[in-house]
Amino acid sequence: MPGPLSHITVIELAGIGPGPFACMLLADLGAQVIRIDRPPVATKGGIDDLMRNDSIVDRGRRSVALNMKDPRAVEAALRLVEQADILVEGFRPGVAEKLGLGPAQCHARNRRLVYGRMTGWGQTGPLAQAAGHDINYIALSGALHSIGPADRPIPPLNLVGDYGGGGMLLALGVLAALSEAQRSGQGQVVDAAMTDGSALLMAAQYGLLAKGHWQDARESNFLDGAAHFYGTYDCADRKHVAIGAIEPQFYRRLLDLCGIDDPQFQHQLQQKEWPALRAKLADVFRTRTRAQWCDLLEGSDACFAPVLSMSEAADHPHNAARGTFVNEGGVVQPAPAPRFDRTPSALPPKAPRTGEHTRDLLQRVGFSQDEVEVLVAAGVAHEAIR
């Protein structure tokens, strides 16, 4: 498979959330990602996918299904680890060690292995063993408090904790450690926590707060919905547009194109004027449909964009021209990013069925065909349910 990471092998211990997202990013860039799945379970609804993400986040893997309660399965997993560059796991601290696949156990078989650990609270600290989800982790970092209307914080989907502060941070961390391992010959453990990552994403806001340019309250700042020049507005058809005219020249362009000559709008940065100016600008945007505002403002320096739904985004001319989304087998999905001019990535294969590659992968790490048959017959290794 093409991509700048085509020489890298990643072992993924199956989980949910940011770990699979990190592995999707690595697979999108060409890495061979081998997911060690739990044995497939037949249910009324088909395969039990509770420990899996959707078909998009799971793309680009090969799947081997092992019953990790059996020592023979642990040995099979360690053989896969011997040939890998990176391992990613997202269990609570200590669980991988109990499975026999902790850092010490894996490094005993492969000292160059980069061992990536993805958790919400981190490997250490008083909350390390507590259950939680994205919303809890970003609540602790100050991120959740800063997002939403003045009366209550609003969870920004699971983008800030799971994906931005979690999966992307982990992907960066394991690639940095891999670069160092290629120099030193020694792997290491990467402790990626969503509390840490979501705090890191707030670096600019913490910097502004320290300088007295940010209020620690929602809808009180120029980026959080308080300013009339940075926010969303209803249109005549109840659709929405997004305005981000922060710089004076872009703000001036917005006013000019909208035909606004009200002198009160000259007080762009006077915060006491913002509520009145937001109300006036809202009245302006309600005079036309979203499409009409696109005709007038899109592509200008007014810092304008239509607020598109997920079903609309792929068809926007800019996204279509760049191939931001692809349609694979009737499934519209984001294309791999970023772009590389010499080692371009391609959309990896769709998500595998659990255990789809069990036989092939076990034979690749030294098990004979007869040995694989024994493991399958004993319920140590499992093939995909057809």
- What are the catalytic residues? 133, 162
Residues 6+ apart with CB under 8 A from 213: none
- SS3 of 381, please? strand
Cβ contact 5:30 at 8 Å: yes
Strand 304-306 and strand 189-193: the pairing is: unpaired
| Rounded to 5°, angle at Cα 133 from 173 and 242 | 80
Read off the tokens for 64: 């081997």
Handedness of CA 11, 14, 19, 20 (dihedral sign): positive
**Joined tokens for residue 65:** 């299904």
Encode 227-264: b = buried (16+ Cβ within 10 Å), e = exposed: bbbbbebebeeebbbebbbeeeebbbbbbeebeeeeee
- Angle, in degrees to the nearest 10, between helices 18-28 and 168-184: 60
The helix (run of H) or strand (run of E) holding residue 332 is strand 331-334
Number of residues that make up the chain: 386
Q: Which residues pair with 325 in a beta bridge?
A: 334
Q: In what order do the strands lie in the sheet with 189-193?
A: 189-193, 114-119, 86-89, 9-13, 32-37, 61-66, 381-382
Q: How many CA atoms lie within 13 A of 290 on its CB side?
A: 15
Classify residue 264 by its DSSP letter: G
Enumerate the H helices of the chain as residue ranges.
Answer: 18-28, 71-82, 95-99, 103-107, 134-141, 168-184, 194-201, 203-210, 248-258, 274-285, 290-297, 310-313, 317-322, 358-364, 369-377
CB of 233 closer than 8 Å to CB of 285: yes
- Number of Cβ within a 10 Å radius of residue 377: 9
